[in-house]
């Protein structure tokens, strides 16, 4: 027992140089891993995978809805304005007829009355006028032409019935040939009558 105690004590009292490995290269052969563990930690630090940047959502842009065309509302042109315009050569008015017909609506009769007052004024007595009818496109040019001519003649008939000589007028229909500037050919705004002074 004493001998074992002395050997054990001697082993414990050995200097550190005798226990530690001579170099990092010898450590693996003796079962030591001081150098390799440190190298592995350094290598792990270098191999840290960068965090991927968050993906941004693609913004989808929706096309703006097309604006709906405003409903056409004809405006009454008073006789005073008509007289001034006709003295200069021409005027464009909207005379309302029944749909697909040459029969005047109540609003159309009101506008026709304003036209009568202007043409029968002393300043315009003796002047001759072309009454030109226009309608919107309906897909049938022949029918549009006939309807516009019938409406122009209906307006002339109204003025003659009010007492203006028929010789002062010519009636002609142009169908859907000449839509208003900036208007689609199918727009109701193209329903109109142009009164043009003849030389």
Q: Per-residue pLDDT tens for 74-112? A: 788 999 999 999 999 999 999 988 888 999 999 899 999
The pLDDT score that the predictor gives to residue 8 is: 46
What would the pLDDT profile of 133-182 be if each residue is shown by its tens digit? 999 888 899 999 999 999 999 999 999 999 999 999 999 999 998 888 88
Task: Compute the distance between CA of residue 93 and CA of residue 112 in angstroms, rounded to an integer.
Answer: 9
Cβ atoms within 10 Å of 15's Cβ, excluding its own: 7
Of residues 71 and 194, more confidently modeled:
194
State which fold the 79-198 domain adopts. Answer: 60s Ribosomal Protein L30; Chain: A; (3.30.1330)
The whole-model pTM stands at 0.63
Per DSSP, the three-state class of 172 is strand
pLDDT digits (tens, 9 = 90+) for 6-49: 444 444 444 544 444 544 454 444 444 445 566 666 666 566 55
Query: Where are the chain's structural domains?
Result: 79-198
**Confidence (pLDDT) at 178:** 86
For residues 138 and 135, give the distance between their C-alpha atoms in angstroms, rounded to a whole number. Answer: 9
Burial label for 9, CB within 10 Å (0-12, 13-18, 19+), is exposed
pLDDT tens digit sequence for 187-197: 888 889 999 99
Edge-to-edge strands, sheet with 128-134: 90-93, 192-198, 128-134, 169-173
Tell me the average pLDDT across 126-137: 94
The per-type count for the chain, helices as H runs and strands as E runs, is 7, 4
CB 75, CB 91: distance < 8 Å: no
Pairing of strands 128-134, 169-173: parallel
**CA 187 to each of CA 71, 75, 98, 178: distance values in angstroms, whole numbers, following the listed order:** 9, 16, 16, 12
Q: Quote the pLDDT of residue 64.
A: 65
Name the more confident of 157 and 199: 157
What pLDDT shows up at residue 186?
87
Cα separation, 94 vs 68, in Å, equals 22
């Amino acid at each position: 027992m004493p001998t074992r105690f002395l050997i054990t004590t001697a082993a414990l009292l050995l200097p550190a140089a005798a226990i530690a490995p001579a170099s990092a290269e010898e450590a693996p052969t003796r079962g030591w891993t001081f150098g390799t563990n440190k190298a592995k930690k350094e290598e792990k630090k270098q191999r840290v995978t960068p965090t991927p940047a968050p993906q941004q959502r693609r913004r989808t842009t929706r096309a703006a809805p097309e604006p709906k065309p405003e409903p056409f509302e004809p405006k009454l042109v008073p006789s005073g304005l008509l007289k001034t315009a006709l003295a200069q050569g021409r005027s464009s008015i909207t005379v309302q007829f029944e749909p697909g017909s040459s029969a005047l609506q109540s609003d159309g009769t009101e506008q026709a009355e304003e036209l009568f007052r202007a043409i029968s004024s002393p300043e315009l007595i003796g002047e001759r006028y072309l009454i030109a009818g226009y309608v919107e496109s309906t897909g049938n040019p022949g029918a549009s032409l006939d309807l516009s001519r019938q409406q122009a003649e209906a307006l002339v008939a109204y003025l003659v019935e009010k007492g203006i000589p028929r010789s002062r007028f010519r009636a002609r229909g142009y169908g859907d040939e000449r839509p208003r500037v900036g208007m689609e050919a199918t727009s109701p705004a193209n329903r109109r009558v142009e009164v043009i002074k003849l030389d």
